[in-house]
Amino acid sequence: MTQLLSAPATSRWKRELLSETTTKFNLANHRRLSQMVSTQDASRFFSGSVTPFDETEKVSKFEELREISSQLGILRNRHDYTRARNSFHEKNLESLQNELDIVNKMGTRTGVKLENMREEAEKMEKLLNDIKKQQDDALIARKACEHMIERMKMTKIHLEKRNLSLAKSLREKQQTLKEELDKQRRTREGRIQTRGALKSLEGYINRETREKVDRLQAIEKDVKQKKEVSIKREERISRQMEIAEAAANEDRNLKAIRMREGLLIHKMWNSFLQKKMEVEMEKNTGIDLAFQRIRRVAGLNDVGEMIEKFLTREQLYAELMERLNDVNKRIEDYNQKNLEMEEKIHGLEIAKKENNNPTHNLSLVVYRGSKETARMKIRLKEMVTIKENIQVWGKKFIKNFDVNFKITDKKLDGLIKTIHRLVSEKLKKIKENKMTLIDTKNTYASINNLNYNE
């Protein structure tokens, strides 16, 4: 009994002496760690290590990693220090236990009183409780450090995710910027091309204007020359009239009077033909403009070539229509053959169910018929496309020929007939005007010849 009480008392007394120097430091360290890892006041934990969420975009990745690594280093050092302290206390505890055993042995030998041994035992128990309390505090601090490390890892993962999302957003923004730059470049190129086309068009318009001015000047010069010729002719006629009057005054014969009357009639007829020519030219201005428009559209100057080209297109259209009808007929025949083949196949399937063997040649014929049908469908689509192109060309040709003309029949046959009718009417008017001009020129030439002969 004396040995059991003396050993704890001696151990408690030594532990009290050992722990007096470290108790205050451990309590302060534990209090500070508890405040840092307290979930009720998380700002103390994140105040020096983690930036706010709103400012994460302002902190670079390297600064965040450097700060996290520094905090982790501090926590690791504190954890190592606490673990070293615990191992040191455990070693001291073992040494005190050994000393307690030695003291117990010495107490038994020296005959220490029971009361003193009990007091020493109580002191040693109190020291042991203090050491256990310090050990518990160290374990709590260790858990706090581990909790802080876990929180740091979660924060690191969150920051890495945030960094990845920002990098992805940056790549998308860069791609969008690249696309916008490409669009801007294409727009700039289009503007440059449009500006070049506009310059070429302005040059073409200037050349056309100069050519028209030159033609107008030539026409004015020709008109001026004709006026001068007409004035000279009138002067000549007036001189002839004076001569005729003088001859009439001298001869007083009927021949001179008739010549004078004929001259006046020829002069009046000349004036009438000039007026008629001017009226006919004004009437034929629209026809000339239409002819010029046809020439621009067709790219030809000769009327015969235009008619031949138009008739050739009509013939080409007739051939296309004939081929289209032939294709439609062949498609109908193939459809009928397909129906017959399907009926035969159905019969063969029924026969197969009745353990009869179908023929291979019939399946081959059906396959060839299907292939030919598909080919004819493709040919039909091509024909329909050609027909639509011809219709678009016909409408465009009619609009270029006469802007105010209203198209009532939009079918291909109606368009061809309308074009043929318009071209025939215009050509008829051109021929009539041409014949009128020829007759006028012949009449005018005959009158001039008659005057010269007289």
Q: What are phi and psi of 22, to 5 degrees?
A: -115, -5
List, in order, residues 6 or more apart from 16 with CB less than 8 Å away.
123, 126, 127, 130
Angle at 145 between CA 141 and CA 147, to 5 degrees: 115
In terms of Cα–Cα distance, which of 296, 303, 377, 392 is closest to 335?
A: 377
pLDDT in the model for residue 121: 77
Q: What is the distance between the alpha carbons of residues 53 and 51, in angstroms, rounded to a whole number?
A: 7
User: Where are the extended beta strands (E) located within 342-406?
Assistant: none
Span 188-245, pLDDT tens digits: 888 888 787 778 777 777 887 888 788 778 777 877 887 888 788 788 777 777 776 7
Rounded to two decimals, the pTM is 0.23
In terms of Cα–Cα distance, which of 4, 19, 1, 16 is closest to 121?
A: 4
User: What tokens does 415 get?
Assistant: 């368009």
Look at residue 301 and give its three-state secondary structure.
Answer: coil
Do residues 278 and 272 lie in contact, with contact meaning Cβ atoms separated by under 8 Å?
no
Q: Tell me the mean pLDDT in the region 407-425.
A: 69
Span 247-289, pLDDT tens digits: 666 666 566 566 767 677 777 777 777 777 777 777 767 666 7
- The one-letter amino acid at 12: R
Residue 449's pLDDT band, with cuts at 50, 70 and 90, is: low
Do residues 8 and 100 lie in contact, with contact meaning Cβ atoms separated by under 8 Å?
yes
pLDDT in the model for residue 400: 66
| Residue 45 scores a pLDDT above 60 | no
Q: What is the distance between the alpha carbons of residues 214 and 208, in angstroms, rounded to a whole number?
A: 10
In terms of Cα–Cα distance, which of 139, 45, 125 is closest to 85?
A: 139
Do residues 426 and 294 lie in contact, with contact meaning Cβ atoms separated by under 8 Å?
yes
Span 59-85, pLDDT tens digits: 456 777 777 777 777 777 877 888 888
Q: Tell me the mean pLDDT in the region 352-357.
A: 50
> Using only C-alpha atoms, what is the Rg of the chain?
60
Tell the residue number behind the tokens 């009509």, with chain if given.
Answer: 314
Return mean pLDDT, the chain.
70
